[in-house]
Amino acid sequence: MEFKTERLFIRLFNRNDLNDVFAIYNNDETCRFLLHEKWTVENMEEEFNKKLNNRALAKESSLSLAVVCHEKVIGDLSVWYTGMKETVEIGYSFAGTASGKGYATEAVRGLVERLFTEFKVHRIQANLDARNKASQLLCERIGMRKEAHFIEDFWNKGEWTDSIVYGMLRSDLNSQA
């Protein structure tokens, strides 16, 4: 899958993206609400290879996409099937330098539209650490609705955290048009 938005090019990762992606994930603030620690020089190759291998959205495999702006990778979009019929979950991370410019909204909105139109998914969801206010706002900007807030339901990085689930149906996309 690859596509363009007004300002961005979204495509599969390639070997040349390693340093740009390392810059995203070698950051405490970026990784604060993610399930993994920040990348290190020692593990960056191994972690990046996982992204390189996520090349197709299928029941058995996930998809990782590079968000490119001016020939630099500024973000990472991930999609995988949840196990429920025609339902996918999305995840995303962006470089701190891309913050406040609308790139994340533009990229995730473009991804959501393609998932509904090209992959014919019925439902898209995002599961967030409840402390991640920026991610909540992004979900709301693209038309997702907050469907659940679970209290201390997830153990991550040595502490219990709250989770929030956002969701959107294909029919929601049609009603926004």
pLDDT digits (tens, 9 = 90+) for 146-167: 999 999 999 988 899 999 999 9
Torsion, Cα 49 51 55 60, to 10 degrees, reads: 100
Which residues, at least 6 apart from 82, have a Cβ–Cβ distance to it below 8 Å? Answer: 88, 89, 125
Instruction: Give the pLDDT mean for 82-106.
Output: 94
Does residue 22 register a pLDDT over 60?
yes
* Of 22, 152, 120, nearest in space to 76 by CA: 22
CB atoms within 10 A of CB 124: 27
Does residue 177 register a pLDDT over 60?
no
Long-range contacts of 21-28 (CB under 8 A, 24+ apart): 21/48, 21/51, 21/66, 21/73, 21/76, 22/48, 23/95, 24/73, 24/74, 24/75, 24/76, 24/93, 24/94, 24/95, 25/93, 27/95, 27/96
- Burial 93-102, CB ≥16 within 10 A → b, else e: bbbeebeeee
Instruction: Give the pLDDT mean for 2-6.
Output: 96
Q: What is the pLDDT of residues 62-80, one digit of tens each?
A: 999 999 999 999 999 999 9
Architecture, CATH, for domain 3-127:
3-Layer(aba) Sandwich (3.40)
Domain ranges of the chain: 3-127
CA distance 136 to 8: 22
Find out whether 115 and 121 touch, Cβ atoms under 8 Å. Answer: yes
Mean pLDDT, all residues of the chain? 93
Please give the model's pTM, rounded to 2 decimal places: 0.93
